[in-house]
Amino acid sequence: MAHHINALVIAGPYDPERALALDLRPQLAHPPVTLFAIDHRYAAYWQARRGRSGVLFPSDTSPAPDQAVLADLVREIAPTSPGFAVIYTEYFGGDGEQWAGVIEGDAYVPVGSVNEALRRLGVIATDGRDEWDTIGLASFRAPPEHLARYVELLAELGG
């Protein structure tokens, strides 16, 4: 079975109304983290709309959305968050890859896996499961339909 996600994982509380205004819809919540589905078009749209530039991660490290605007969005919806991660998975039939990058304050923290990113954000594995299974990440397998509209929105901005 396929598993393809790009997501923003925020530690700590966030403002649900502000998140919705930025089209960040929680896909999975397991304190202390909330996971919001994003993709490269979503991130590119907000970067272009706001006239922002830059990236979060060193070049050639991330297959995931890496636009610097993601840090701005996190600060807007979760100003007290100690950090966030961008995660990426691509699996089919057990074969595939994953990647995660953590931002703590303004600093990029390289991590080796999604589980390590979740640990850095405060997820504690329970009941003999890893962090991935503890928060129920296996149930989130594909991007939600609302992200499809960013193809057109980005094109309207010339992207």
pLDDT in tens, the chain (159 residues): 577 889 999 999 999 999 999 999 999 999 999 999 999 999 999 999 999 999 998 877 788 899 999 999 999 999 999 999 999 988 887 788 899 999 998 899 989 899 999 999 999 999 999 999 999 998 887 889 999 999 999 999 887
Pick the closest to residue 77 from 121, 122, 147, 13 (CA basis): 13
Q: Which residues form the domain of 103?
A: 2-156
The tens digit of pLDDT for each residue in 21-37 reads: 999 999 999 999 999 99
How many folded domains does the chain comprise? 1
Q: Model pTM?
A: 0.93
Pick the closest to residue 100 from 65, 144, 141 (CA basis): 65
115 in Cβ contact with 132 (< 8 Å): yes
